[in-house]
Amino acid sequence: MAQIVAAMGSVHNPLLMAGPARVEAPMWEKFERGFSALRQTLQDSGADTVVVVSDEHFNALSPRHYPSFGVVAAETCRGPSENWLGVPCGSITVNCLPELAEAILHDGLQHGFDLTRIGEAGLDHGFLTCLHHMTPDWDLSYVRLLPSCVPPPLPTVRR
């Protein structure tokens, strides 16, 4: 169903959206060069979907209902869930790819990697900050993988 065409990593510092004017020019230029390179890599890859692995910061999910490793299987997601990120809450809607999310869930289970289906979840800065610079038109599809990085039980390294 899917093919991995690129893999990238990025910081998700909220200042990238909430306060770029507070970042000194030489540092901001480094961010811009880095995101330009990531954006070019993504465009050159021909990807039509971005799978994002990022913890959620209790802005969109409750710590009372937080999986050790989840996959968002929604049609769309909306954010930001924070009111301090520099754009109005709920002003960004992204198209998700629930078919790919379901395939990840089923394939993971077949290989002993049980994941939790999350029907819907808002978008917080962990998802939005880097993609705001990499895909500013939000014109791709997205799948969110949410590993728990704070509340136990934490996923094992094997997972």
pLDDT tens figures, 27-79 = 999 999 999 999 999 999 999 999 999 988 888 788 788 888 899 999 999 99
**For residue 77, which of 127, 33, 152 has the smallest C-alpha distance?**
127
Kindly list the domain boundaries of the chain, sorted by start residue.
15-147
Instruction: Count other Cβ atoms within 10 Å, centred on residue 131.
Output: 23
Has domain 15-147 been given CATH number 1.10.357.10? no
Nearest-angstrom CA–CA distance, 36 and 77: 25
Nearest-angstrom CA–CA distance, 110 and 99: 17
Its pTM stands at: 0.89
Amino acid 115 reads L
pLDDT tens figures, 103-155 = 999 999 999 988 999 998 999 999 999 999 999 999 999 999 998 888 777 77
β-bridge pairing 141-147 and 92-96: parallel
Cis peptide before 153 (omega within 30 of 0): yes
* 98 phi, psi to nearest 5 deg: -60, -30
C-beta separation of 60 from 123 below 8 A: yes
The pLDDT of residue 1: 64
